[in-house]
A and B are shown apart, each in its own frame.
Chain A
Amino acid sequence: MPYYKNYLVGRANLIKLKSPTFYMDRTSVNPLSSHAKEIRRKILKMIHASKSAHIASALSTVELLVSLYFKIMRIDPKNPSMQGRDILIFSKGHGCSALYATLVQRGYENEKILQEFSTDGGKLWGHVTSGSMKGIEATAGSLGHGLPIGLGMALANKKRNVFVLMGDGECDEGSVWEAILFAGHARASNLIAIIDFNKIQSLGNTAEVLDIEPLAEKFRAAKWAAKEVDGHSIPHICAALQKLPFEEGKPSVLIAHTTKGKGISFMENSLAWHYTPPDDKQLEGALGELS
């Protein structure tokens, strides 16, 4: 059995869940899962309208973003540059439609800005670009840049948490491992890496292209504390991130086991949806699944 299939049997069971009301939006009575649905709708519409790629990479991050932006992070959408705020660096920049949709859903910007995505004369590039939208902390797109930047931000101000959301394919990059080594060495305990482990990268399955397993063990060997979680269970993600750092004096990594294309049956676990935008009929079908 592949290593990652063990995770639910093992460590994740130790995560204690709170009562259901805990997993409500801080700002309203909506359960967080309703935000996830709405964000997926927005992603579908953005990618469909702009006929752009990377829809499946965006869909696998949704519950992670909802947990962070609606529950875990100390932020203020009305004051995006609040001193001492928590930081999220969206390092897998190609999945940016999910970040844009989440920032809108959280109230950083009006929904209208999403029409600016990947279109001539628009504001929002097809990879995360700082300055294009309130709430974006760093530019990313070339992979393996977010963790070093996040590490620098964590070292500059130890009183806040810096989260870096990365892809599993992104972990092929050498710069990621340079930062992993240094963060463990520097005991950067306010740095939290979150791996969207969706098992598929650009040309094939991660296990076949460049097997990064056992990933948690690699992080632990570099003096990190690691947890694994079902990356589509908001209660489990929130419970895992409720107490930070995972261990005193160590950076934390949450390996979130996810499904590429999650939430739309025909997009799940399919390499083609790393590239293909949905046509009108597929959009209709996908939105139907989310209703």
Chain B
Amino acid sequence: MRKTFVEKLLLYAKKYPSLMVVTGDLGYSVFEPFMQKFPEKFINAGIAEQNMMGMSAGLALSGKIVFAYSITPFATVRPLEQIRVDICYHNLPVRIIGTGAGLSYGTLGPTHHGTEDLALMRAMPNMAVCAPADKYELAKIMDASMKMKTPLYIRIGRSQEPDVHSFPPPLKIGKGLEVYSKGGDFAIISCGNMVHTALQAAAILFKEGKKGKVISMHTIKPLDSALVLSLAKKMPLFTLEEHSIIGGLGSAVAETLADAGVCPPVFERFALPDAFQKAVGKHEFLRMKNGLTPEAVAKKIIKKL
């Protein structure tokens, strides 16, 4: 995903004179081609994320479109007030890119796990929040962002995530994508790096005779509530995300259901617990520990059905 990210930036640098890329001293083996080709459009702010976000706001106040990049918690939690006041209050075209979604940074530990970013970014006024499932979705979201004049948070993976699509999907910000549709026994609404897991879980369920749907809800805010409600009226609904159970995709879906007074036949949110990870482990291990493998998800869904 990060490779696609920098390839897109290289294209935009030629097309949009106002593009600026800012990083908090991260992006080794990602940014080099961009730094070499467009040094005047690239700022390494150093390990100083508050200044990075404030400076990004200043650039945007002066007519620039800014991509500000760091590891998820350092791009969101650390400079939260700069995001809130400098970027969101002024309603500026800054694209905050948080890499290492969820538990992607595995053994690096809880300091590097991005598990509250969706909740925090959703709560910021004027901010749109996206979590693309693969490089194709990321490319489409980045393209759309170049026409937006308001703040946007994009949560991306680390590297070499499996693709969900085999070609660029007809993606629109704010409209969920049906990536799997075999029937109406259930629907899994997922986002980001969990969409692939949702697809695998759906395949297991298919073998058990349960035919359902998988939605890539790449935009968590504004949420495609029309899609959520239409599914909820017809079938059991599940959400799946690699994010705290508090405030992310599942919360957004639950709020939509509650506000509309719609009660799906079954509703359950699969997410990380409201806790720091205790056991040390790589990404896959941590997913297993937290019940976020295709097998564990499929098993829980069958129980509920």
Q: In the complex, how many angstroms separate the beta carbon of A40 from the nearest chain B beta carbon?
A: 29
Interface membership of chain A positions 179-197, coded 1 if the CB is closer than 8 angstroms to chain B and 0 otherwise:
1011001100000000000
Interface status of A77 (Cβ within 8 A of chain B): no
Q: In the complex, which residues of chain B have a beta carbon less than 8 angstroms from the beta carbon of A155?
A: 43, 55, 58-59
Chain A, residue nearest B18 (CB): A156
Interface status of B174 (Cβ within 8 A of chain A): no
Interface status of B224 (Cβ within 8 A of chain A): no
A142-B51 in contact given A148-B86, A182-B45 (Cβ < 8 Å): no
A149 with B86: CB separation less than 8 A = yes
Interface status of B89 (Cβ within 8 A of chain A): yes
8 chain-A/chain-B pairs, Cβ below 8 angstroms: A139-B89, A144-B50, A148-B54, A149-B58, A152-B55, A157-B62, A175-B82, A186-B43
B90 with A138: CB separation less than 8 A = yes
A150 with B58: CB separation less than 8 A = yes
Docked pose: A142 CA to B50 CA in angstroms: 13
Residue of A141, A157, A182 near B51 (CB, 8 A) is A182
A156-B59 in contact given A139-B85, A145-B54, A179-B54 (Cβ < 8 Å): yes
In addition to A149-B55, A155-B43, 13 A-B residue pairs with Cβ atoms within 8 Å of each other are A142-B85, A145-B81, A147-B54, A148-B50, A148-B54, A148-B82, A149-B86, A152-B54, A152-B55, A152-B57, A152-B58, A153-B58, A182-B45
Interface status of B168 (Cβ within 8 A of chain A): no
B62 with A152: CB separation less than 8 A = yes
A148-B55 in contact given A139-B90, A182-B45 (Cβ < 8 Å): yes
Q: In the complex, which residues of chain A have a beta carbon less than 8 angstroms from the beta carbon of B46?
A: 178, 181-182, 185
Docked pose: A175 CA to B56 CA in angstroms: 14
Chain A, residue nearest B54 (CB): A148
Interface status of A137 (Cβ within 8 A of chain B): yes
B59 with A152: CB separation less than 8 A = yes
Docked pose: A139 CA to B61 CA in angstroms: 11
- Report the interface size for chain A: residues with CB under 8 A from the other chain: 28
Q: In the complex, which residues of chain B have a beta carbon less than 8 angstroms from the beta carbon of A175?
A: 50-51, 54, 82
Taking Cβ atoms with an 8 Å cutoff, the residues of A that contact B are 130, 137-142, 144-145, 147-157, 174-175, 178-179, 181-182, 185-186
Residue of B20, B43, B45, B61 near A149 (CB, 8 A) is B61
Q: In the complex, which residues of chain B have a beta carbon less than 8 angstroms from the beta carbon of A157?
A: 62
Docked pose: A155 CA to B43 CA in angstroms: 10
Docked pose: A147 CA to B53 CA in angstroms: 11
Chain B, residue nearest A157 (CB): B62
A152 with B81: CB separation less than 8 A = no
Interface status of B162 (Cβ within 8 A of chain A): no
Interface status of B221 (Cβ within 8 A of chain A): no
B61 with A179: CB separation less than 8 A = no
Q: In the complex, which residues of chain B have a beta carbon less than 8 angstroms from the beta carbon of A152?
A: 54-62
Docked pose: A114 CA to B236 CA in angstroms: 58
Docked pose: A31 CA to B255 CA in angstroms: 61
Which residues, 78 to 105 on B, are CB-close (under 8 Å) to A? 81-82, 85-86, 89-90
B62 with A151: CB separation less than 8 A = no
Docked pose: A144 CA to B55 CA in angstroms: 12
Q: In the complex, how many angstroms separate the beta carbon of B22 from the nearest chain A beta carbon?
A: 9
Interface status of B113 (Cβ within 8 A of chain A): no
Interface status of B48 (Cβ within 8 A of chain A): yes
Docked pose: A122 CA to B57 CA in angstroms: 27
Chain B, residue nearest A151 (CB): B55
A153 with B51: CB separation less than 8 A = no
Docked pose: A175 CA to B50 CA in angstroms: 6
B62 with A148: CB separation less than 8 A = no
Which residues, 38 to 73 on B, are CB-close (under 8 Å) to A? 43, 45-46, 48, 50-64
Q: In the complex, which residues of chain B have a beta carbon less than 8 angstroms from the beta carbon of A130?
A: 89-90
A178 with B61: CB separation less than 8 A = no
Q: In the complex, how many angstroms separate the beta carbon of A166 from the nearest chain B beta carbon?
A: 13
Docked pose: A155 CA to B56 CA in angstroms: 10
Q: In the complex, which residues of chain A have a beta carbon less than 8 angstroms from the beta carbon of B51?
A: 148, 151, 175, 178-179, 181-182
Chain B, residue nearest A146 (CB): B54
A139, A148, A181 interface centre (most CB from chain B within 10 Å):
A148
Q: In the complex, how many angstroms separate the beta carbon of A91 from the nearest chain B beta carbon?
A: 10
Q: In the complex, how many angstroms separate the beta carbon of B158 from the nearest chain A beta carbon?
A: 26
Q: In the complex, which residues of chain A have a beta carbon less than 8 angstroms from the beta carbon of B53?
A: 148
Q: In the complex, how many angstroms separate the beta carbon of B48 from the nearest chain A beta carbon?
A: 4
Closest A-B pairs by Cβ, 6 of them: A152-B58, A148-B54, A156-B62, A178-B51, A178-B48, A152-B55
Q: In the complex, which residues of chain B have a beta carbon less than 8 angstroms from the beta carbon of A145?
A: 54, 81-82, 85-86
Which residues, 165 to 216 on B, are CB-close (under 8 Å) to A? none
Chain B, residue nearest A186 (CB): B43
Docked pose: A157 CA to B17 CA in angstroms: 13
Chain B, residue nearest A154 (CB): B58
Chain B, residue nearest A147 (CB): B54
Chain A, residue nearest B20 (CB): A156
Docked pose: A156 CA to B43 CA in angstroms: 11
A137 with B61: CB separation less than 8 A = yes
